[in-house]
Structure 1
């Protein structure tokens, strides 16, 4: 079987998440993405009336989902890619009734393999819920980067999975009763620099294996102006599209 293409740098990915964890210690650190994902998982579990006895939570640096699950009697293990947890190799952790992966699988090179490892680590009747940023995200920033680069655009923002590809992935990797949905989370910013700071604190900085050259001073200013022009009254609304894939092991 051929190796998957190397789109993302595992080293840059790990360093980016380590920086994210440092930045998240701040009182005003942005947590809106992971908070949204945690709330969504809790709502889904309630709707499905799925009460796991043993769960694995990957990527929730707030600890909120694990705390909720423990409050309902579950034994929970937590793992973080910044600490070396590799989602592209078989999980050595045993069988789980729930595996929730929040905001990490959009930057693995072997996404089908990672989903297979999740399914294989579920017990019979176990549920996987996987959420990450998907196609259609950051349209204002993408447009601003194109303006900044002019006729020679550089790779600056990640390629992303869309709803259709997400559904195909769940089917290919053997999940039963797959459910795929996408929801927007819109956030207003007073400037591009504020957005960039949030992206770093959210662990969404560039981890491409070939990230392209840095923006020069003039290009950065063109990007700032284009981003501001996309807004109204000094605020530009940016969109984060959150894709959630869920399925069962039968």
Structure 2
């Protein structure tokens, strides 16, 4: 069970764009892992549900009628059904064939969405953007298939996730440590990526979800059950029994007094609008009628 949630906001910093030709994730393995997790996903869906509920809360604050919706990442019908209940017309897409078929959707990767430009009023991308080979390209594509003044809402596990698992695996493997956890996208890069993709009013922020486990095996079971295990093209061999046993011991050593170890999921949220002439524009530089120096002067007391 989740113990607590901490919200934070950050400044946007620049990020270099990775070339789509240098893929790091195995697309086929990624789809297979999501499909294998489909049958028992409901027993491991806490992270997805947390992100979906937050995205729905943010959508509730939007005072526009965004009717045609694309849901990117559909491990079940939870989010699509909630959107339909709000009167939305929903199309689903997922990289896994089983997931896509179960919701009557389209199988596709996020950086290869097969939809025409200006097709949707809203795109909700929940829980998959952290393992996309070309994230800048995926955001650019989403911007294109949105209609003018359309909205993108996204959520994914970002940088700072799984620090305990990372530490105990490094400690167990020692000098021969392999890369068992994916590279993670820093939430501070989110606004820059949205701006580069042509979105206006970009926002990047996040929260953390802490979950407590009695053993490392419960955590690994959750990761497999949500289709979030390692899909790197260069993933190392499976952990040996000796290494896994050592990691399990280190995991227990990190436990609190009640014998449970707290693991953290850092969630990044992105939102941005496709440009439209009706949107408010920032004031022209130099158009202010009062100087900053004057505004900051202390007021005189009578």
**Common fold, TM-score beyond 0.5?**
yes
| Cα distance change, pair 100–227 in 1 and its aligned pair in 2 (3 A) | same
Could you say which residue in structure 2 is the equivalent of 1:98?
A: 122
Gaps of 5+ in 1: none
Q: In the TM superposition, what whole-angstrom CA distance separates every residue of 1:166-214 from its partner, at most 9, and x where no partner exists?
A: 2221111111100101110111111000100000011110000011122
Shift of 1:126: 0.5
Q: Distance in 2 between matches of 1:207 and 1:161?
A: 16
Q: In the TM superposition, what whole-angstrom CA distance separates every residue of 1:41-95 from its partner, at most 9, and x where no partner exists?
A: 1110111223311101121323222222212221111112102312212432551
Find out whether 1:131 has 2:145 as its counterpart: no
Deviates more, 1:79-88 or 1:1-10: 1-10
Could you say which residue in structure 2 is the equivalent of 1:159?
A: 183
Match of 1:20 among 10, 13, 37: 37
For 1:83-232, list aligned pairs within 5 A: 83=97, 84-92=107-115, 95-232=119-256
Q: Distance in 1 between matches of 2:177 and 2:39?
A: 31
Larger C-alpha radius of gyration, 1 or 2? 2
Q: In the TM superposition, what whole-angstrom CA distance separates every residue of 1:121-168 from its partner, at most 9, and x where no partner exists?
A: 101111001111100000110001101110121111000001222222
Shift of 1:3: 3.7
Could you say which residue in structure 2 is the equivalent of 1:8?
A: 25
Indicate conservation of the 8 Å contact 1:45/1:51, yes or no. Answer: no
Could you say which residue in structure 2 is the equivalent of 1:57?
A: 71
Q: Distance in 2 between matches of 1:224 and 1:136?
A: 21
Q: Distance in 1 between matches of 2:153 and 2:204?
A: 10
Match of 2:265 among 240, 243, 249: 240
Q: How well do the aligned residues superpose, as a CA RMSD in angstroms?
A: 1.5
Q: Distance in 1 between matches of 2:205 and 2:272?
A: 12
SS in 2 for 1:88: helix
Question: Deviating runs (4+, > 4 A) in structure 1?
Answer: none
Aligned residues: 247
| Cα distance change, pair 2–38 in 1 and its aligned pair in 2 (3 A) | closer
Q: Distance in 2 between matches of 1:188 and 1:56?
A: 33
Indicate conservation of the 8 Å contact 2:55/2:154, yes or no. Answer: no
Shift of 1:99: 0.3
Match of 2:96 among 82, 85, 89: 82
Q: In the TM superposition, what whole-angstrom CA distance separates every residue of 1:87-126 from its partner, at most 9, and x where no partner exists?
A: 2124325511110011111111111111111111101111
Please report the TM-score for the alignment, with normalisation by the length of structure 1: 0.94
Q: Distance in 1 between matches of 2:165 and 2:121?
A: 39
Please report the TM-score for the alignment, with normalisation by the length of structure 2: 0.78
SS in 2 for 1:11: helix
Could you say which residue in structure 1 is the equivalent of 2:81?
A: 67
SS in 1 for 2:176: coil
